[in-house]
Amino acid sequence: MKNIDVAVIMAGGKGSRLLSITNDEIPKPMVPVDGKPLLEYQVEKLKAYGIKKIVMIVGHLGEKIVDHFKDGKDFGVEIDYIFENEPLGTAGAFYYLKDKTDAKDFMLIFGDVFFDMDFDRMEDFHFKNSALTTLLAHPNGHPYDSDLIQTDDTGRVIGFDSKHNVRDYWYDNMVNAGIYIINKRLLDLVKEPVKTDFEKDILANQVKLGANIYAYHTPEYVKDVGTVDRIKATVEELKSGLIQSKNLKNKQRAVFIDRDGTMNVSKGFISKADDLELIPGTIDAIKAINKSGALAIVITNQPVIARGECSFEELHNIHNKLKTLLGEKGAFVDDIFYCPHHPDKGFEGEVPELKFDCECRKPKTGMIEEAVKKYNIDLSKSYMVGDSTMDLETARNAGIKSVLVDTGFAGNDGKYDRSCDIEADNLLDAVEKIIKDFR
């Protein structure tokens, strides 16, 4: 990291869901993951990105953390400690943190998170947006019982959606992962050492006041390992190499997926969430991509925006329905890129500023190029799946392999060359064939 060399780890907590492993004899952040304490993994990863000083906020059995790490020299860093004599929540100890560091910006990491990610990218995002706080956000396979973040198109946080809310609406799969970059000015908001919730008592209020709070979206491996089952899954993924491979310093495989007619039933261009109906097998297909370690990225032309037939707000609602339906069954897309433009004029209610020949509308490759830059994608190992010859032409223009699904629309539209690398009955069939090729 270029500008940040200090990290704070919230290393308190009893870990009641891990008692079968800890026997209440070791603190939660010291739970072994494949034979090594979780906290040691965190220290190693932070050190690898140039973190020189770490402040650990410890509580229950905190002396065992101190006994293990001491001053940090044996681990190549400097470690200091803040002891909570009574639980202060996720931000109460910030009161004491003011005197522990002079750094203008620092990392904050929850001690129950296993991660392998490119912190340089998150740091660049933080300073580009002059953020007071940047939260790391990602999709997961259980958004229905997770605290979610609401953002605008720039990543600026506009609200928080508690897992305790009654969600009678479609929602974005944008989960707060427990990793932050914080400007020291935020510490001044904690006036006394009392129990304080970082998200509810500080960040939510700052969002309401219009502060620069941003969410950095990443598909990298960041997982709360606060249960026995999650630790077991993490060990398996660590041994398989999946965790390391998802670090965005490494080139990524991606499956680019057309939306209408490929994921959802083709009804022309839909303009409201009620019209989104997933094709059978779509959820299982996305779950298979997730399990493979490849990125699942939707690439879709949405000229209904330029035509004035659908608002940006309603398009986001349509996509939130897609994410909600997937998340209810343990699947997620890593991102959705859409083109709102349309070159032809003459539609009633059209939006003039969106009526032009752009570089993102398929079969041009602007959306794919944006995804490549954002996620370090290796196009030579990636695929484009669609139901039309336009999707095949997009794949050829981008230099990636193409898959045509026979879901009843435009495989025979005749506008572009119909030749492709793979033909499939539907998205699930396509993904099964792609994964065989991955192997």
CATH code of 201's domain: 3.90.550.10
Crossing angle of the two packed helices 312-327 and 282-292, in degrees rounded to 10: 80
Q: Which residue has the tokens 């690439």?
A: 299
Residue 58's pLDDT is: 96
Residue 243 lies in a domain: no
- Tell me if 318 sits within 8 A of 270, measured CB to CB: yes
Residue 429's pLDDT is: 98
Q: Are residues 139 and 185 in the same domain?
A: yes
d(CA 84, CA 311): 50
d(CA 64, CA 43): 16
Number of domains the chain contains: 2
Candidates 33, 41, 17, 27; CA nearest to 226 is 17
Domain end (from 182, 202, 235): 235
Domain end (from 188, 205, 235): 235
Summary mean pLDDT of the chain = 94
Q: Are residues 89 and 226 in the same domain?
A: yes
**H runs (alpha helix) in 105-202:** 119-128
Distances from the Cα of 223 to the Cαs of 220, 231, 331, in angstroms?
9, 9, 15
Candidates 343, 346, 363; CA nearest to 355 is 343
> Residues with catalytic annotation?
258, 260
- Tell me if 67 sits within 8 A of 79, measured CB to CB: no
Q: Give the domain range for residue 220.
A: 6-235
Residue 414's pLDDT is: 65
Taking only the tens of pLDDT, the chain with its 439 residues reads: 889 999 999 998 776 677 667 767 888 899 999 999 999 999 999 999 999 999 999 998 999 999 999 999 999 999 999 999 899 999 999 999 999 988 999 999 999 999 999 999 999 999 999 999 999 999 999 999 999 999 999 999 999 999 999 999 999 999 999 999 999 999 999 999 999 999 999 999 999 999 999 999 999 999 988 888 889 999 999 999 999 999 999 999 999 999 999 999 998 889 999 999 999 999 999 999 999 999 999 999 999 999 999 999 999 999 999 999 999 999 999 999 999 999 988 888 999 999 999 999 999 999 999 999 999 999 999 999 999 999 999 999 999 999 999 986 655 566 788 899 999 999 999 999 999 988 7
- Tell me if 297 sits within 8 A of 383, measured CB to CB: no
Q: Are residues 22 and 102 in the same domain?
A: yes
DSSP-derived 3-state class of residue 311: coil
Q: Are residues 272 and 421 in the same domain?
A: yes
Residue 198's pLDDT is: 96
Backbone angles phi, psi at 435, to 5 degrees: -65, -35
Q: Are residues 145 and 271 in the same domain?
A: no
Residue 67 lies in a domain: yes
d(CA 384, CA 388): 11
Determine which helix (DSSP H) or strand (DSSP E) holds 131, and give its type and residue range.
none
Q: Are residues 278 and 372 in the same domain?
A: yes
Residue 397, C-beta contacts closer than 8 angstroms, at least 6 positions apart: 363, 364, 365
Determine which helix (DSSP H) or strand (DSSP E) holds 98, and give its type and residue range.
none
Q: Are residues 144 and 229 in the same domain?
A: yes
Q: Are residues 64 and 206 in the same domain?
A: yes
The DSSP secondary structure of 401-419, one letter per residue, reads EEEEE-SSSBTT--SS---
Domain end (from 235, 268, 292): 235
Neighbours of 20 (CB within 10 A): 7
Residue 82 lies in a domain: yes
Residue 121's pLDDT is: 97
- Take residue 232 and report the two structure tokens written for it: 């077991």
Residue 246 lies in a domain: no
Residue 412's pLDDT is: 52
**Left (φ > 0), alpha (ψ -120 to 50) or beta: where does 178 sit?**
left
> Strand 254-257's sheet: what is its strand order?
335-339, 295-301, 254-257, 383-386, 401-405, 422-424
Question: Rounded to the nearest 10 degrees, how much is the dihedral formed by the CA atoms of 193, 165, 310, 407?
Answer: 120
